[in-house]
């Protein structure tokens, strides 16, 4: 723990709180006060119709600020009143929308804005696709000229921000982390039974939002290739999202309905993963995947696409097998290689779990984040004093 007598006041601003990696991240960094003299108060702008990650938010001391829609700017006035009352040393904003409302709310307060950056905006609807060029342009402006310091979740993410013109000196990298847990072996058979996995069959699966960047159409094509060779494998996808109906239709057209279960969103995904024999990630974009860390934590052999921050978590043929994205045959070959080699599966599973424990626990992430926040506050306090 850092020694400092001054209590550093930080307001944390979130825009929405849908299930996913950012929500998990946010719930963990609530614990920065365990590692430094920080008072962190979190606020989340939330519209009633938006999905809410209750599993993560229930762990937090967070205030939900209701808004009617994305165009409801009454939240700016609400946040300005909060800033006036709390007088924070820093504003910590998350994602593009969080930074945008923090910038508007903070006008005239001279409070430094710092941010966590988890990746680019991926539109899933026609309306969102129309908005993307505007979002990209505003993001460049905000992160180049408004955000004083930014923490990213991987070296890959840092490179993207640098390509947008953000000063490399203002970017720090702190890998995502999740809590280590003790697994209950009896849950494995219980979950496999609930999924209808026949005795003697392997279970291969993934857990993610059913969104375009997850490349799940390639996973379905991979399944079609695998079941032509082996019929002793079953597959499961845990998660929900905008592409659910399209994926169900594709699975039917590929003739693989008898092999795959779409199991929906589960808040107890850590327990669900114990049912797997192998974890697959088919994404074409990952910045530093929480799902990948969950698989490593569970001690699963992994086949993942060589994209984004994945190679920073997994060394190919050590902690798992990395394959090109959008290549169902390569993904199928990786899965078949592991299914046919028990020793390789076991060794990779052990290596993956050991790497998780050494590098990617929430304690390590939160401690580093606390240090980063303290450094940000120190640096900007000195700058403000110098300007005065």
Domain that holds residue 338: 186-359
Instruction: Enumerate residues 6+ apart whose C-beta is below 8 A from 76.
Output: 101, 104, 105
pLDDT category of residue 383 using cuts at 50, 70 and 90:
low
Asked whether residue 301 falls in the same domain as residue 198, the answer is yes
Q: How far apart are CA 188 and CA 283, in angstroms?
A: 26
Q: How far apart are CA 299 and CA 296, in angstroms?
A: 5
Asked whether residue 216 falls in the same domain as residue 140, the answer is no
Mean pLDDT of the residues in the chain: 92
Asked whether residue 320 falls in the same domain as residue 193, the answer is yes
Does the structure show a pLDDT above 80 at 124?
no
Does the structure show a pLDDT above 90 at 135?
no
pLDDT in tens, 238-251: 999 999 999 999 99
In contact, 143 and 115? CB cutoff 8 Å: yes
Q: What's the domain count of the chain? A: 2
Does the structure show a pLDDT above 90 at 34?
yes
Asked whether residue 37 falls in the same domain as residue 163, the answer is yes
pTM over 0.95: no
For residue 29, give the nearest of 116, 110, 138, 107 by alpha carbon.
116
Residue 148: inside a domain? yes
We report the CATH number of the domain holding residue 211 as: 3.40.50.2000
Asked whether residue 227 falls in the same domain as residue 146, the answer is no
Asked whether residue 367 falls in the same domain as residue 340, the answer is no
Asked whether residue 56 falls in the same domain as residue 171, the answer is yes
Q: What is the mean pLDDT of residues 340-358?
A: 98
pLDDT category of residue 382 using cuts at 50, 70 and 90:
low
Asked whether residue 81 falls in the same domain as residue 115, the answer is yes
Residue 2: inside a domain? no
Asked whether residue 37 falls in the same domain as residue 147, the answer is yes
Q: What is the mean pLDDT of residues 12-34?
A: 88
Asked whether residue 106 falls in the same domain as residue 241, the answer is no
Task: Name the residue with higher pLDDT: 170 or 382.
Answer: 170
Does the structure show a pLDDT above 80 at 387?
no
Asked whether residue 191 falls in the same domain as residue 126, the answer is no
Asked whether residue 121 falls in the same domain as residue 25, the answer is yes
pLDDT in tens, 199-232: 999 999 999 999 999 999 999 999 999 999 999 9
């Amino acid at each position: 723990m850092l020694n400092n007598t001054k209590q550093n006041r930080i307001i944390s601003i979130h825009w929405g709180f849908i299930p996913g990696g950012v929500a998990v991240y946010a719930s963990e960094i609530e614990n920065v006060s365990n590692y430094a003299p920080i008072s962190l108060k979190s606020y989340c702008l939330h519209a009633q119709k938006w999905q809410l990650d209750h599993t993560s938010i229930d762990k937090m001391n967070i205030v939900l600020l209701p808004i009617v829609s994305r165009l409801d700017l009454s939240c700016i006035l609400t946040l300005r009143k909060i800033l006036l009352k709390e007088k924070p040393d820093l504003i910590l904003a998350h994602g593009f929308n969080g930074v945008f409302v923090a910038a508007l709310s903070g006008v005239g307060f001279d409070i430094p804005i710092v941010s966590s950056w988890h990746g680019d905006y991926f539109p899933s609807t026609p309306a969102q696709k129309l908005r993307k060029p505007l979002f990209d342009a505003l993001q460049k402006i905000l992160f180049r000229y408004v955000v004083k310091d930014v923490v990213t979740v991987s070296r890959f993410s840092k490179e993207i921000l640098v390509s947008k013109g953000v000063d490399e000196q203002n970017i720090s990298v702190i890998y995502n982390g999740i809590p280590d847990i003790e697994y209950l072996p009896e849950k494995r058979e219980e979950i496999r039974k609930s999924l209808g996995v026949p005795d003697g069959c392997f279970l291969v699966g993934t857990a993610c939002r059913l969104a375009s960047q997850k490349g799940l159409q390639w996973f379905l094509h991979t399944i079609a290739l695998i079941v032509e060779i082996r019929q002793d494998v079953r597959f499961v996808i845990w998660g929900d999202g905008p592409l659910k109906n399209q994926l169900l239709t594709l699975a039917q057209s590929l003739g693989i309905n008898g092999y795959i279960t779409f199991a929906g969103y589960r808040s107890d995904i850590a327990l669900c993963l114990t049912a797997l024999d192998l974890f697959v990630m088919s994404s074409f974009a990952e910045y530093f995947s929480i799902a990948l860390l969950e698989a490593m934590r569970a001690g699963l052999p992994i086949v993942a696409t060589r994209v984004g921050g994945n190679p920073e978590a997994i060394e190919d043929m050590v902690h798992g097998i990395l394959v090109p994205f959008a290549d169902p045959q390569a993904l199928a070959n990786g899965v078949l290689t592991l299914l046919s080699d028990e020793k390789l599966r076991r060794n990779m599973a052990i290596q993956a779990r050991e790497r998780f424990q050494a590098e990617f626990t929430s304690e390590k992430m939160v401690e580093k984040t606390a240090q980063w926040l303290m450094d940000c506050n120190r640096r900007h306090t000195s700058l403000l004093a110098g300007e005065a």
